[in-house]
Amino acid sequence: MTVAYSDEIDIMEAVRARLRSKHVEFTAKTCFLSDTPIPPVMPFSDFAVTIVNGGTSYDENTYMGAGPNALDNQLTLLITIIKLCALDTPGRTEDALIHHSRGILPYRKTILNALLVSDDQYCEGHKDQWVMEVDDYQVLRERGPIPRGWTPPRYEVMNDRTYLTTTLTLTMNFDQEL
């Protein structure tokens, strides 16, 4: 497989495509790029995963050594799970957190597996990291996606509806051509 330079748009689109390909609930209507982790206008009824550019930085030493021929971009992505929840009876809070089909916490493992684990590469019984591709080229990268952590679950009230949310911070370094 040939490697290629990339940019933050390619990376965000590749992450979105990967998530959509790994879970039936992650569709064009429920898994999308956004300008904020929790959109002010909810384009869905009860569930969504947003992918947000959390900012970029550049490695100064790499740039000072090779100039525009070596721009190492560190991209931060915020991936937020948003799920409508009902808190009207006892036990609903627990369901909103851990229920296998209604809770948000089981989605954490689904997202981490999609973005960190390769589909078919195993080395001596150990899972290999997913290598991002754009237009059938592997992204030229310094490091693959690195999970930095999840926020604690929290409630967001919008339009008189209560949603439970949690956000993954993920960083990755890749080479960008100018």
The dihedrals phi and psi of 7, each to the nearest 5 degrees, come to -145, 175
* Interval 9-18: pLDDT, tens: 888 998 999 9
Given the DSSP bridges, would you call strands 47-58 and 31-33 parallel, antiparallel or unpaired?
parallel
* Interval 94-107: pLDDT, tens: 777 777 777 899 99
How do the domains of the chain map onto residue ranges? 3-176
* Interval 47-89: pLDDT, tens: 999 999 999 888 777 777 666 666 778 899 999 999 988 766 6
Which of 26-30, 116-120, 163-167 bottoms out in mean pLDDT, i.e. has the lowest? 116-120
Q: In the CATH scheme, what is the code of domain 3-176?
A: 3.30.2000.10
* Interval 33-47: pLDDT, tens: 999 999 887 766 789
Burial class, 62, CB count within 10 angstroms (exposed 0-12 / middle 13-18 / buried 19+): middle
pLDDT at 141: 61
Rounded mean pLDDT of the chain?
82
Is the pLDDT reported for residue 122 higher than 70?
Answer: no
